[in-house]
Structure 1
Amino acid sequence: MGRPPPLGTHRAIRCYQIGSGYRARTLARDYDGRTRAVERWGKTRAAAERALKLAVRDRARTQADQQLTADTRLSALAEAWYAALTDLSPTTMQAYRARLDRQILPGLGQLRIGELSIGILDRHFG
Protein backbone atom coordinates (compact mmCIF):
# COMPACT_ATOMS: atom_id res chain seq x y z
CA MET A 1 0.00 0.00 0.00
CA GLY A 2 1.32 3.43 -0.92
CA ARG A 3 1.98 6.36 1.33
CA PRO A 4 -1.21 8.16 2.42
CA PRO A 5 -1.72 11.70 1.13
CA PRO A 6 -0.99 14.62 3.49
CA LEU A 7 -3.71 15.60 5.96
CA GLY A 8 -6.55 17.57 4.35
CA THR A 9 -5.79 16.42 0.79
CA HIS A 10 -7.23 13.83 -1.56
CA ARG A 11 -6.14 11.21 -4.05
CA ALA A 12 -7.01 11.01 -7.75
CA ILE A 13 -10.60 11.77 -8.75
CA ARG A 14 -12.50 9.01 -10.53
CA CYS A 15 -15.70 9.67 -12.50
CA TYR A 16 -18.46 7.24 -13.36
CA GLN A 17 -21.47 7.72 -15.58
CA ILE A 18 -24.68 6.96 -13.72
CA GLY A 19 -28.08 7.31 -15.34
CA SER A 20 -28.29 10.79 -16.82
CA GLY A 21 -25.34 12.23 -14.89
CA TYR A 22 -21.94 11.55 -13.39
CA ARG A 23 -20.58 10.58 -10.00
CA ALA A 24 -17.09 11.76 -8.96
CA ARG A 25 -15.27 9.93 -6.15
CA THR A 26 -12.00 10.29 -4.31
CA LEU A 27 -10.33 9.27 -1.07
CA ALA A 28 -9.73 12.25 1.24
CA ARG A 29 -7.46 12.12 4.27
CA ASP A 30 -9.12 13.85 7.20
CA TYR A 31 -7.37 15.62 10.05
CA ASP A 32 -7.90 12.62 12.31
CA GLY A 33 -5.58 10.64 10.02
CA ARG A 34 -8.33 8.48 8.53
CA THR A 35 -8.85 8.21 4.79
CA ARG A 36 -12.52 8.36 3.79
CA ALA A 37 -14.40 8.12 0.51
CA VAL A 38 -16.04 11.35 -0.65
CA GLU A 39 -18.35 11.59 -3.63
CA ARG A 40 -20.50 14.16 -5.40
CA TRP A 41 -22.78 14.11 -8.42
CA GLY A 42 -23.39 16.39 -11.38
CA LYS A 43 -25.14 16.48 -14.71
CA THR A 44 -21.79 16.55 -16.51
CA ARG A 45 -18.42 15.03 -15.70
CA ALA A 46 -16.93 18.50 -15.14
CA ALA A 47 -19.80 19.53 -12.84
CA ALA A 48 -19.35 16.39 -10.73
CA GLU A 49 -15.59 17.00 -10.45
CA ARG A 50 -16.11 20.66 -9.48
CA ALA A 51 -18.64 19.69 -6.82
CA LEU A 52 -16.25 17.08 -5.44
CA LYS A 53 -13.29 19.48 -5.35
CA LEU A 54 -15.41 22.05 -3.48
CA ALA A 55 -16.58 19.41 -1.01
CA VAL A 56 -13.02 18.26 -0.28
CA ARG A 57 -11.83 21.86 0.04
CA ASP A 58 -14.65 22.79 2.44
CA ARG A 59 -14.19 19.56 4.38
CA ALA A 60 -10.49 20.28 4.94
CA ARG A 61 -11.13 23.90 5.91
CA THR A 62 -13.80 22.95 8.45
CA GLN A 63 -11.63 20.31 10.05
CA ALA A 64 -8.52 22.50 10.08
CA ASP A 65 -10.45 25.24 11.87
CA GLN A 66 -11.51 22.75 14.52
CA GLN A 67 -8.14 21.11 14.98
CA LEU A 68 -7.16 20.78 18.61
CA THR A 69 -3.53 20.80 19.65
CA ALA A 70 -1.62 20.71 22.91
CA ASP A 71 -1.65 24.54 22.83
CA THR A 72 -5.46 24.73 22.61
CA ARG A 73 -7.07 26.01 25.78
CA LEU A 74 -9.32 23.63 27.68
CA SER A 75 -12.16 26.13 27.28
CA ALA A 76 -12.04 25.66 23.48
CA LEU A 77 -12.01 21.88 23.90
CA ALA A 78 -14.98 22.04 26.27
CA GLU A 79 -16.97 24.26 23.92
CA ALA A 80 -16.21 21.98 20.96
CA TRP A 81 -17.32 18.97 22.99
CA TYR A 82 -20.53 20.69 24.09
CA ALA A 83 -21.34 21.87 20.56
CA ALA A 84 -20.93 18.32 19.23
CA LEU A 85 -23.51 16.87 21.61
CA THR A 86 -26.68 15.77 19.84
CA ASP A 87 -29.78 13.76 20.64
CA LEU A 88 -29.67 14.51 24.36
CA SER A 89 -32.57 15.66 26.46
CA PRO A 90 -32.82 19.37 27.33
CA THR A 91 -32.35 18.51 31.00
CA THR A 92 -29.08 16.69 30.28
CA MET A 93 -27.86 19.58 28.12
CA GLN A 94 -28.63 22.04 30.92
CA ALA A 95 -26.82 19.88 33.46
CA TYR A 96 -23.73 19.63 31.22
CA ARG A 97 -23.75 23.39 30.56
CA ALA A 98 -24.09 24.14 34.26
CA ARG A 99 -21.17 21.85 35.12
CA LEU A 100 -19.03 23.50 32.45
CA ASP A 101 -19.95 27.05 33.51
CA ARG A 102 -19.71 26.54 37.28
CA GLN A 103 -16.90 24.06 37.76
CA ILE A 104 -14.75 23.20 34.75
CA LEU A 105 -14.32 26.48 32.86
CA PRO A 106 -13.65 28.74 35.88
CA GLY A 107 -11.14 26.33 37.40
CA LEU A 108 -9.45 24.81 34.36
CA GLY A 109 -10.60 26.73 31.29
CA GLN A 110 -7.43 28.80 30.78
CA LEU A 111 -5.07 25.82 30.99
CA ARG A 112 -3.77 24.42 27.73
CA ILE A 113 -4.54 20.79 26.89
CA GLY A 114 -0.83 19.95 27.07
CA GLU A 115 -0.66 21.31 30.62
CA LEU A 116 -3.32 18.97 31.96
CA SER A 117 -2.11 16.15 34.14
CA ILE A 118 -3.69 13.64 36.49
CA GLY A 119 -2.36 15.67 39.42
CA ILE A 120 -3.99 18.90 38.24
CA LEU A 121 -7.31 17.18 37.54
CA ASP A 122 -7.21 15.32 40.86
CA ARG A 123 -6.50 18.55 42.73
CA HIS A 124 -9.38 20.29 40.95
CA PHE A 125 -12.01 17.56 41.29
CA GLY A 126 -10.75 16.00 44.54
Structure 2
Amino acid sequence: MFEDQTWDACVVVPGIMGSVLEDAATGCALWGVDLEMLTDPLTGRGLLGALHADELEGAADADTARRAPLTRIRAIKLLAKPWWLPVFQGLDPYSDTVKTLQRITLAPEAVAPFPNDWRLAVPYNGALLAARPART
Protein backbone atom coordinates (compact mmCIF):
# COMPACT_ATOMS: atom_id res chain seq x y z
CA MET A 1 0.00 0.00 0.00
CA PHE A 2 2.83 2.45 0.82
CA GLU A 3 5.54 1.21 -1.53
CA ASP A 4 5.96 4.63 -3.15
CA GLN A 5 6.02 6.50 0.13
CA THR A 6 8.47 6.94 2.95
CA TRP A 7 8.30 7.33 6.70
CA ASP A 8 11.48 9.42 6.60
CA ALA A 9 11.63 13.12 7.38
CA CYS A 10 13.26 15.18 4.65
CA VAL A 11 15.21 18.41 5.00
CA VAL A 12 15.64 20.41 1.79
CA VAL A 13 18.94 22.28 1.98
CA PRO A 14 19.49 24.53 -1.04
CA GLY A 15 22.78 24.84 -2.82
CA ILE A 16 24.96 27.93 -2.85
CA MET A 17 22.95 31.06 -3.64
CA GLY A 18 19.76 29.02 -3.19
CA SER A 19 18.18 31.00 -0.36
CA VAL A 20 16.58 34.43 -0.43
CA LEU A 21 18.54 36.73 1.89
CA GLU A 22 17.34 39.95 3.50
CA ASP A 23 18.76 42.63 5.75
CA ALA A 24 17.42 41.70 9.18
CA ALA A 25 17.17 45.29 10.38
CA THR A 26 15.31 46.73 7.39
CA GLY A 27 13.70 43.69 5.75
CA CYS A 28 15.26 44.86 2.47
CA ALA A 29 15.92 42.02 0.03
CA LEU A 30 19.62 41.49 -0.64
CA TRP A 31 19.55 38.33 -2.76
CA GLY A 32 16.93 36.37 -4.64
CA VAL A 33 14.30 38.85 -5.75
CA ASP A 34 15.02 40.42 -9.15
CA LEU A 35 17.77 41.99 -11.21
CA GLU A 36 16.65 45.57 -10.51
CA MET A 37 17.58 45.21 -6.86
CA LEU A 38 21.25 44.86 -7.78
CA THR A 39 21.65 48.56 -8.62
CA ASP A 40 20.02 51.50 -6.92
CA PRO A 41 18.83 53.73 -9.80
CA LEU A 42 19.34 56.88 -7.70
CA THR A 43 22.89 56.21 -6.54
CA GLY A 44 24.08 53.63 -9.08
CA ARG A 45 25.42 51.68 -6.10
CA GLY A 46 24.66 47.99 -6.07
CA LEU A 47 23.29 46.08 -3.10
CA LEU A 48 25.79 43.25 -3.50
CA GLY A 49 28.17 45.13 -1.23
CA ALA A 50 25.80 44.40 1.66
CA LEU A 51 26.32 40.68 1.05
CA HIS A 52 30.04 40.90 1.74
CA ALA A 53 30.74 38.92 4.90
CA ASP A 54 31.99 41.12 7.70
CA GLU A 55 34.70 39.97 10.12
CA LEU A 56 32.27 38.14 12.45
CA GLU A 57 30.52 36.41 9.56
CA GLY A 58 33.81 35.38 7.99
CA ALA A 59 34.92 33.76 11.22
CA ALA A 60 31.55 32.14 12.04
CA ASP A 61 31.72 28.45 12.85
CA ALA A 62 29.59 25.85 14.64
CA ASP A 63 30.48 27.28 18.06
CA THR A 64 29.31 30.72 16.93
CA ALA A 65 25.98 29.26 15.84
CA ARG A 66 25.52 27.55 19.21
CA ARG A 67 26.59 30.53 21.33
CA ALA A 68 25.20 33.57 19.53
CA PRO A 69 23.84 33.18 15.99
CA LEU A 70 24.55 36.09 13.66
CA THR A 71 21.68 38.46 12.99
CA ARG A 72 22.73 41.01 10.34
CA ILE A 73 21.37 39.03 7.38
CA ARG A 74 18.75 36.31 7.48
CA ALA A 75 17.69 33.62 5.05
CA ILE A 76 13.91 33.75 4.69
CA LYS A 77 12.95 31.11 2.12
CA LEU A 78 14.22 28.89 -0.65
CA LEU A 79 14.92 30.62 -3.94
CA ALA A 80 11.95 30.41 -6.30
CA LYS A 81 13.85 31.07 -9.53
CA PRO A 82 17.43 31.87 -10.53
CA TRP A 83 16.75 35.52 -11.31
CA TRP A 84 20.46 36.26 -11.73
CA LEU A 85 20.56 33.90 -14.76
CA PRO A 86 17.95 35.35 -17.16
CA VAL A 87 18.46 32.44 -19.58
CA PHE A 88 16.75 30.14 -17.06
CA GLN A 89 13.59 32.20 -16.57
CA GLY A 90 10.79 29.99 -15.32
CA LEU A 91 13.16 27.39 -13.84
CA ASP A 92 12.20 26.87 -10.22
CA PRO A 93 14.96 24.89 -8.52
CA TYR A 94 13.21 23.90 -5.27
CA SER A 95 9.40 24.17 -5.33
CA ASP A 96 8.87 20.97 -7.35
CA THR A 97 11.32 19.11 -5.14
CA VAL A 98 9.50 20.18 -1.96
CA LYS A 99 6.08 19.29 -3.48
CA THR A 100 7.31 15.87 -4.63
CA LEU A 101 8.79 15.10 -1.22
CA GLN A 102 5.56 16.17 0.48
CA ARG A 103 3.65 13.84 -1.83
CA ILE A 104 5.81 10.78 -1.13
CA THR A 105 6.21 11.22 2.62
CA LEU A 106 3.46 9.78 4.77
CA ALA A 107 3.28 13.11 6.61
CA PRO A 108 3.78 16.18 4.37
CA GLU A 109 4.81 18.22 7.41
CA ALA A 110 7.86 15.94 7.66
CA VAL A 111 9.37 17.90 4.74
CA ALA A 112 11.28 20.90 6.06
CA PRO A 113 12.89 23.47 3.77
CA PHE A 114 16.01 24.91 5.40
CA PRO A 115 16.89 28.28 3.88
CA ASN A 116 20.35 29.23 5.04
CA ASP A 117 22.83 32.04 4.68
CA TRP A 118 24.95 30.46 1.97
CA ARG A 119 27.66 33.12 2.44
CA LEU A 120 28.63 31.53 5.74
CA ALA A 121 30.58 28.36 6.51
CA VAL A 122 28.95 24.94 6.32
CA PRO A 123 29.73 24.13 9.99
CA TYR A 124 27.89 27.32 11.04
CA ASN A 125 24.78 26.48 8.99
CA GLY A 126 24.97 22.82 10.05
CA ALA A 127 24.92 23.81 13.72
CA LEU A 128 21.85 26.02 13.06
CA LEU A 129 20.13 23.10 11.35
CA ALA A 130 21.00 20.75 14.21
CA ALA A 131 19.59 23.24 16.74
CA ARG A 132 16.40 23.85 14.77
CA PRO A 133 13.39 22.69 16.77
CA ALA A 134 11.44 19.77 15.35
CA ARG A 135 8.07 20.68 13.88
CA THR A 136 5.14 18.92 15.47
Decide: shared fold, TM above 0.5.
no
Q: Which has the higher contact order (CA 8 A, sep 6+)?
A: 2
Give the number of the structure whose alpha-carbon radius of gyration is greater.
1
- TM-score normalized with structure 1 length: 0.26
Structure that is richer in helix per residue:
1
